[in-house]
Amino acid sequence: MPHDRTNAEGATIAQTIRASGRRLTIQRSKILDALHRLPGHSTAEQIHAVVSEDQLDAEMALSTVYRNLETLVEMGLVTAFADGGGVITYEWAATETPHHHLLCDGCGHTKEVEVEALDALTVEVKREHGFAVDLRHMAIRGQCARCQAGQSK
Amino acid sequence: MPHDRTNAEGATIAQTIRASGRRLTIQRSKILDALHRLPGHSTAEQIHAVVSEDQLDAEMALSTVYRNLETLVEMGLVTAFADGGGVITYEWAATETPHHHLLCDGCGHTKEVEVEALDALTVEVKREHGFAVDLRHMAIRGQCARCQAGQSK
DNA sequence: ATTACTGCAAATAATTTGCATCTGG
DNA sequence: CCAGATGCAAATTATTTGCAGTAAT
């Protein structure tokens, strides 16, 4: 079902997983596939839905999705991101284009953008505090243009 | 018990609250007091604890704390901030010095800092996307110096 | 054969909500 | 007096965990 994807080091994901003493189960494979196919950030529920879509075999347990996501994050294959509402979203780490999130407090909408100033920020924070910023998790909150105009709460 | 604090517009908090058709109850007053006294970001539980400290009268319900915090956020007197773990922290909005949060994904520690590059970021995002960044909610995630060195997960 | 992984159901944790009662203005 | 606020307990939501059975290597 998953067709030999490769990671940053050129090894297949399957190899990477087995090399860490873990197993490539059907469910893990499906989750990997879903993550790879889904565009942006997805919740565990969404991933579970996608995975349960091709309902040829039995539905997988939600807890299995959670456990796998945790494992994959641990392995660095997936990144987790908690936006402003106790909901965690996951994303395939190899997604090439780094992007950032404008999160509107007014309407709740999210927009993904590239922000040059973040490079400067990364450098500054590293120099001043020795802290290595992970831009993939950067949520920029505020008010979108629309919400600033009409205070449409 | 609370001694006529004033908000940005110079009106007393009490006036501001009443003007919005709300009432200044004893519990609201205590919560306001706690928020004002507490230094940084506090969870609902922490605020509840502080408020229940001066145990002269009955303990207030946790739900009352939550409801009040929601109301105060709505009124703009308090800001809410969700860091990376489904936990919301609240803070008195009038806290003068704007600061930002370095959130280490390794050890989970938070450090508050000032980052100049964020001013540039604010300008850029506003110009390019018309989005008004709210720096009070800016969480910068990554790895602190310690965790980068020894990968003490 | 091991032992990691899965499913299921029950357990948490944080926050929300329904409702009868109380109280500030 | 009466709408907004409170207390309490039950309900949600998102996620985690224990355990016995299943399957990947």
In the predicted model, is pLDDT for residue B64 greater than 90? Answer: yes
Beta bridge partners of B104: B142
Residue B37, domain extent = 1-96
Query: In the Cβ-directed half-sphere of B130, how many Cα atoms lie within 13 Å?
Result: 6
Rounded to whole angstroms, the distance from the CA of residue A129 to the C1' of nucleotide D22 is 49
Count other Cβ atoms within 10 Å, centred on residue B10: 7
Q: Please tell me whether residues A20 and A84 are part of one structural domain.
A: yes
Task: Decide: A28 and A68 in contact? Cβ < 8 Å.
Answer: yes
Taking only the tens place, the pLDDT of each residue in B8-23 is: 555 688 999 999 999 9
Are the Cβ atoms of A113 and B120 closer than 8 angstroms? no
Mean pLDDT, range B105-112, rounded to an integer:
69
Task: Decide: B141 and A138 in contact? Cβ < 8 Å.
Answer: yes
Chosen domain end from A47, A67, A96: A96
pLDDT, position A2: 47
Run of H or E including B141 = strand B139-143
pLDDT, position B2: 47
Average pLDDT, chain A: 81
B 79-98: CB within 7 Å of strand D: 86
In the predicted model, is pLDDT for residue A38 greater than 50? Answer: yes
Q: Please tell me whether residues B72 and B120 are part of one structural domain.
A: no
pLDDT, position A25: 96
Are the Cβ atoms of B130 and A144 closer than 8 angstroms? yes
Q: Please tell me whether residues B62 and B105 are part of one structural domain.
A: no
Are the Cβ atoms of A144 and B138 closer than 8 angstroms? no
DSSP A30: H
Q: Between residues 55 and 114 of chain B, which touch chain A (CB distance below 8 Å)?
A: 82-86, 88, 102, 104-105, 111, 113
Closest nucleotide relative to residue B59's CA, C1' based: D7
Q: Please tell me whether residues B139 and B117 are part of one structural domain.
A: yes
Q: Please tell me whether residues B10 and B60 are part of one structural domain.
A: yes
pLDDT, position A16: 94
Q: What's the gap in Å between the CA of A115 and the closest CA on chain B?
A: 7
pLDDT, position B153: 37
Q: What's the gap in Å between the CA of A6 and the closest CA on chain B?
A: 25
Run of H or E including B142 = strand B139-143
Q: Please tell me whether residues B103 and B89 are part of one structural domain.
A: no
pLDDT, position A153: 37
DSSP B40: S
The percentage of chain A sitting over the pLDDT mark of 90, rounded to a whole number, equals 35
Q: Please tell me whether residues B72 and B25 are part of one structural domain.
A: yes
Q: How far apart are CA A47 and CA A35, in angstroms?
A: 7
Q: Please tell me whether residues A32 and A105 are part of one structural domain.
A: no
Are the Cβ atoms of A83 and B82 closer than 8 angstroms? yes
Closest nucleotide relative to residue B21's CA, C1' based: D4
Mean pLDDT, range B52-63, rounded to an integer:
81
CATH (domain of A112): 3.30.1490.190
Chosen domain end from A59, A75, A96: A96
Chosen domain end from B96, B125, B141: B96
Q: Please tell me whether residues B79 and B39 are part of one structural domain.
A: yes
Residue of higher predicted confidence among B44 and A150: B44
For chain A, how many structural domains are there in total? 2
Q: Please tell me whether residues B16 and B72 are part of one structural domain.
A: yes
Task: Decide: A7 and A13 in contact? Cβ < 8 Å.
Answer: yes
Q: Please tell me whether residues B80 and B56 are part of one structural domain.
A: yes
Among A31-40, A69-78, B77-86, where is mean pLDDT lowest?
B77-86
Beta bridge partners of B120: none
pLDDT, position B142: 80
SS3 breakdown of chain B: % helix, strand, coil, rounded to 5? 40, 20, 40
pLDDT, position A83: 64
Q: Please tell me whether residues B51 and B67 are part of one structural domain.
A: yes
CATH (domain of A82): 1.10.10.10
Mean pLDDT, range A81-100, rounded to an integer:
73
In DSSP notation, A58-106 reads PPPPHHHHHHHHHHHHHTTSEEEEE-TTS-EEEEETT-SS--EEEEETT
